[in-house]
Amino acid sequence: MKRAFRNVLPLLLAFVGLGLVYGVTVPPFENLDEIEHFGVIRYIAETGRLPVHGTPEAEIYHYRQEASQPPLYHLLSAGLVHLLGLQARDMETYIRFNPRVACGPNAPFLYDNRAIFYHNPHRERFPWQGTLQMLHVLRVWSTLLQALTVLGTWTLARRILPAHSGIALLATAIV
């Protein structure tokens, strides 16, 4: 097993490394549905309750449709936020929607701008505090959880086809 793990380790390290680079490169809340997932986690961490659609909190916390997702990831993440004492009291200072964003089916014909929000690179640089610290901790946390999925794929493929370790590596690389 140890020798086999040495074969998958480069894939895991590459996955985590690329995930971390992606996490520090993409501007805050520009990942797909990131602001909504962040809102659900923040709501649970601050209130100790699951969010509900159609309440005034839905607009305040920006969680929209993500409140209907199965809550395991959000509960685990809110627990981590609570454990580390992270807070996002300054979140609203980062939420300035870009009216010229080019999203949707007609996007290429409207504007050449993919940023959902206005960004201030000077405020968003390291070292992060408040909302940005919480966001980047959650990005690292998500990358580690995804790495567990990659490792789980490899483990499952090795158990299903123990004589074909190459297939396990291929399945892992595809994930």
Residue-level pLDDT at 91: 84
**Residues 4, 169: contact at Cβ < 8 Å?**
no
Residue-level pLDDT at 106: 55
**129-142 residue pLDDT tens:** 999 999 999 999 99
The pTM for the full model equals 0.86
**21-40 residue pLDDT tens:** 999 999 998 888 899 999 99
The per-residue pLDDT string of the chain (175 residues; one tens digit each, 9 = 90 and over) reads 577 788 899 999 999 999 999 999 999 988 888 999 999 999 999 999 999 888 887 777 888 778 888 899 999 999 999 999 999 988 888 878 777 666 665 555 555 666 777 778 888 888 999 999 999 999 999 999 999 999 999 999 999 988 888 888 888 888 8
DSSP string, the chain: -HHHHHHHHHHHHHHHHHHHHHHHHSPTT-STTHHHHHHHHHHHHHHSS---TTSHHHHHHT-GGGGGS-SHHHHHHHHHHHHHT---TTGGGG--B-TT---STTHHHH-S---SB---TTTSSSSP-HHHHHHHHHHHHHHHHHHHHHHHHHHHHHHHSTT-HHHHHHHHHH-
Return the residue matching tokens 């601050």. Answer: 46
